Amino acid sequence: MKIKKISLFALILTLSFTLGCTKIITLSKKSNQKQANNSSRQTIDPIKQKLDHMTLDEKIGQLVIVGIDDYTNNEHSKTLINTYHVGGFILFGQNIKNSAQLLELINSLKETNSSNNKTPLLLGVDEEGGRVSRMPSEFVKLPSNAAVGHVNNSNFSYKIGEILGQELKGFGLNVDFAPVLDVNSNRKNPVIGDRSFGSNPPLVSNLGIQTMKGIQSQNIISVVKHFPGHGDTLVDSHFGLPIVYNDIKRLNNLELVPFSNAIKHGVDMIMVAHILLPKIDLNNPASFSKTIITDILRKRMNFNGVVITDDMTMGAIIKKYDIGEASIKSLNAGSDIILVCHDFDKEVTVLNAIKNSVTKGTLPEKTINEKVYRILKLKEKYNLKDTKTTSINIQVINNKINNLLDSYMR
């Protein structure tokens, strides 16, 4: 009888323990499921979601920035937006008469794009100051980088960048292909000259980075150029292909110094030059050299931002290479955006070449996705929108320029 009581008690105790454990396990499963659901919600990537909903044509369009052949948003530019879904436009003096016309052009491009595409446009100019300026003539001229280098004041350089950014922002532009980070090491260089801050790498680094930060402070994307360094060339790449016989040791000690420091200070986009460096890559210019773009810039220098080529319609390319083939080589080498500044037919040729390369399998769609992701991420970072700009107060900006120049140069 005593044994039966003990056995009954043991059975009750065992059942209680088992039921308790079951309850604990059930609660634990619910808790784990809740954590998993929360984790799932937290790891949703809106950029990836946007990418997943894009067509192949829309993705390809993001890989190209094009120029315009008129003062207005004409049939060519509308076709590039509506049919080819281009990622952006670059404007030149040939597109700019005055501030009213420029504002109307930019707003028209935005309106066309927002009516047909969900991804906002990159809209940029080469606005460096000095002789490379695209802003309307109503603005007071800003000094060249060489003049800024002569002053050699970090605050002055930052303020210059800030005003550059304000000028672009006033029109609704969002990309400045500046500053130049080339070290002017060759006085016979026909294209850089006073576009460089100077011949000293630390000075170019310091002032260039401050200008970059000033531009970024206005929510304008700063594109530093011309990687891996255009300062020791004897040929202008607008007309022919420069050849520079410097090795990697020389580049590490001089040309790459400003770019390396810019990467450490948060540069978002880097432009790669059309320069042949035979001691680094015997066969391919930097703009489509895997050794220079992927091995050096991406892997060794740890740049994870957007890589854009210099203009593919420059003499350095079209006099020696097929523009479509060169563009595919560049994308496979590691660039993200092909810049095609002139000629509607050449722009369409590049866009069609990219699509054909996907069909042939020479440019995998997976590779395109990686590039488009970087581009969308940059557009998201700067919160780009195709919102129209109603007006710009040029006098306010001119007053700032005059006050700045009075403080540092006059």
386 belongs to the catalytic site: no
Residues 6 or more apart in contact with residue 235 via CB below 8 angstroms: 190, 241, 242, 243
Q: Are 77 and 68 in contact (CB under 8 A)?
A: yes
- Return d(Cα 215, Cα 178) in angstroms, integer: 9
Q: Are 190 and 211 in contact (CB under 8 A)?
A: no
- CA distance readout (Å), 115 to 108, 184, 213, 386, 404: 11, 45, 33, 10, 41
- Return d(Cα 305, Cα 194) in angstroms, integer: 28
Residues 6 or more apart in contact with residue 346 via CB below 8 angstroms: 312, 313, 318, 323, 340
The per-type count for the chain, helices as H runs and strands as E runs, is 16, 8
One-letter amino acid for residue 392 of the chain: I
- Return d(Cα 208, Cα 206) in angstroms, integer: 6
- CA distance readout (Å), 396 to 101, 102, 302: 19, 18, 40
Catalytic residue among 126, 176, 310, 336: 310
Within a 10 A sphere around the Cβ of 10, how many other Cβ atoms? 10
Residue environment code for 17-46, b if the CB has 16+ CB neighbours within 10 A, otherwise e = eeeeeeeeeeeeeeeeeeeeeeeeeeeeee
Question: What tokens does 225 get?
Answer: 């150029």
238 belongs to the catalytic site: yes
Catalytic residue among 238, 265, 295, 343: 238
Residues with catalytic roles? 238, 310
